[in-house]
Amino acid sequence: MSSEECIDFFFKPESIALIGASPNPEKLSHTILESLRKMKFKGKIYPVNPGYREIEGLKCYSTPGEIENKIDIAIFAVPAKAVLEVLRGHVENIKGAIIVSSGFRETGLGGKKMEDELKALLKEKGIRAMGPNCLGIYDTVSNVDTFFIEREKIERPVRDGVSVLTQSGSFAAMIMDELANEGAGIARVVSYGNKVDVDESDCLEFLARDEATKAVALYIESVANGRRFLEVASSCAKKKPIVALKVGKREPGARAASSHTGAISGMYEAYEAAFRKTGIIEAASYEELKDACKVLNRYSPVEGKRVLIITDGGGIGISIADACEEAGLRVPELSETAVKKLKEKLPAFASVRNPVDLTGSVRNEHYVAALQETPAEEYDLAIVSLLWGPPLLTGGVAGKIRDFADSCGKPILISSPGGKFSRELASAFTKTGMPVFFTPESAVRAAAVLCGGKK
């Protein structure tokens, strides 16, 4: 079955039914209802629970069949057994299901049997499904949020360009929380858990043609259908960057991955080869995948590996240069012409090499001058690292660097190490939409992703 027409509705639903809705704030379903409302979901919401006539001001239905209209997404937030029971009833008006319930394949043989039955029921009723054992969809484009963890616990990122696909719900929650905390956004997140039906290839196929998605980040424990994945990923990678983290690379990670969603995570080497073949950029670590999301929200990969480093902290500049070399990037010496131009425009205290060190006497305009005077043909991307100690360095520098980035067309990555004060000043960059990284190595990880990933 081609999923072409089949799964798009998950990302632009007009109606959502919440099976197992409850007025009890301790129930997961209550959190989901709250999440949908906080997202200002524009479509219809139908609570379903035979025990209530009304929940939170919404009419409550006994069964999905009782709802007169079609249901784009039915969120199942009931125990595993109840999922099967509901599906045995009248569910002809349900197009898609998101089954957040656990208690299936991941729990062993009994669960595996129930999941087989689930699969058969879904097929029989013609329902496409995500899950079970998942968090579902967080979508800043369609304003859908089926995550059953409160916003007080897991922050929701604002809208941006990267979409995330993941089996692991805990991974989805973690990266959303951290991106939001670092001021970064996201387009859509899908946590598809045990993949009883919809899998990474289905989602990737949709994201490939999704205008709201600028790049895709994949967290992979295992791939269901290798051949289809290769096709879909190759085709998607031609249109937009895909970055992937394979986890469970070797024993014992692989062992744990197998128990976690009941899947068998294949040999890592096969995945490496597949990534190379399809043009997927491989992330070396969780940290790199997160850094990739931040940088791909704004920039596209570049040809070349030459990094220009501009800093006001000599030690940081050297650490960044070291990390670049380590990651297979180059920090080329500047040409004589460039050095001459820089010397003319920068004060004598500046060290005019690559890294350019503007020292603690720096002013905002020196950062801009260093960028403007370095000939564009001498580097492929720049890391601009700011320590905020210098009294004449202010948040005002952000707008100016952003303007330069817009006009020069090359990725400019901001590195701003430090604590509270630094983060506050660095938020001036975040506000302009520029990605900010908090350690020398994280900026370099992002640069490495733009330059094609793992050596």
Among 101, 278, 297, 354, binds a second copy (CB under 8 A): 354
Rank residues 58 and 82 by Cβ distance to a second copy and give the closer one.
82
The nearest distance, CB 217 to a second copy, in angstroms, is 14
Which amino acid makes up residue 70?
K
The nearest distance, CB 98 to a second copy, in angstroms, is 17
Asked if 132 is part of the footprint of a second copy (rule: CB under 8 A), the reply reads no
Asked if 418 is part of the footprint of a second copy (rule: CB under 8 A), the reply reads yes
Q: How many CA atoms lie within 13 A of 120 on its CB side?
A: 8
Calculate the CA 11 to chain-centre distance. Answer: 16
Q: Strand pairing partners for 217?
A: 164, 243
Asked if 349 is part of the footprint of a second copy (rule: CB under 8 A), the reply reads yes
Rank residues 69 and 421 by Cβ distance to a second copy and give the closer one.
421
The nearest distance, CB 6 to a second copy, in angstroms, is 27
Contacts of 148 (CB under 8 A, 6+ apart): 28, 29, 31, 32, 35, 77, 100, 135
Choices 10-18, 58-66, 204-212, 351-359; region in contact with a second copy by CB under 8 A:
351-359
Rank residues 178 and 200 by Cβ distance to a second copy and give the closer one.
178
| Alpha-carbon distances, residue 226 vs 63, 216, 263, 273, 444 (angstroms) | 38, 18, 14, 12, 31
Q: Which of 173, 271, 175 is nearest to 217 (CA)?
A: 175
The nearest distance, CB 165 to a second copy, in angstroms, is 13
Asked if 335 is part of the footprint of a second copy (rule: CB under 8 A), the reply reads no
Rank residues 99 and 154 by Cβ distance to a second copy and give the closer one.
154
Rank residues 152 and 377 by Cβ distance to a second copy and give the closer one.
152
What's the longest Cα–Cα distance across the chain? 80
Instruction: Report 155-214 residues binding a second copy (CB under 8 A).
Output: 155, 166-171, 173-174, 177-178, 180-181
How far is 157 from 181, CA to CA, in rounded Å?
8
Map residues 88-127 to x or -, x wherever contact with a second copy holds by CB under 8 A: --------------x----x--------------------
The burial of 433, by beta-carbon neighbours within 10 Å (0-12 exposed, 13-18 middle, 19 or more buried), is given as middle
Torsions phi, psi for 62 (to 5 deg): -75, -40
Show the tokens assigned to 300: 């596209």
The b-or-e profile of 174-212 (16+ CB within 10 A means b, else e) is bbbbbbbebbbbbbbbbbbbbbbbbbbbbbbbbbbebeb
The nearest distance, CB 417 to a second copy, in angstroms, is 5
Asked if 256 is part of the footprint of a second copy (rule: CB under 8 A), the reply reads yes
The burial of 391, by beta-carbon neighbours within 10 Å (0-12 exposed, 13-18 middle, 19 or more buried), is given as exposed
The nearest distance, CB 284 to a second copy, in angstroms, is 8
| Residues 184/161, Cβ–Cβ less than 8 Å | no
The nearest distance, CB 286 to a second copy, in angstroms, is 5
Rank residues 48 and 134 by Cβ distance to a second copy and give the closer one.
134
Torsions phi, psi for 163 (to 5 deg): -105, 145
Among 422, 427, 432, 433, binds a second copy (CB under 8 A): 422
Rank residues 93 and 107 by Cβ distance to a second copy and give the closer one.
107
Looking at residue 334, the DSSP 8-state letter turns out to be: P
Map residues 30-69 to x or -, x wherever contact with a second copy holds by CB under 8 A: ----------------------------------------
End-to-end Cα, the chain, rounded Å: 38
How many residues bind a second copy, per CB under 8 A?
Answer: 78
Choices 15-23, 224-232, 254-262, 269-277; region in contact with a second copy by CB under 8 A:
254-262
| Residues 95/12, Cβ–Cβ less than 8 Å | no
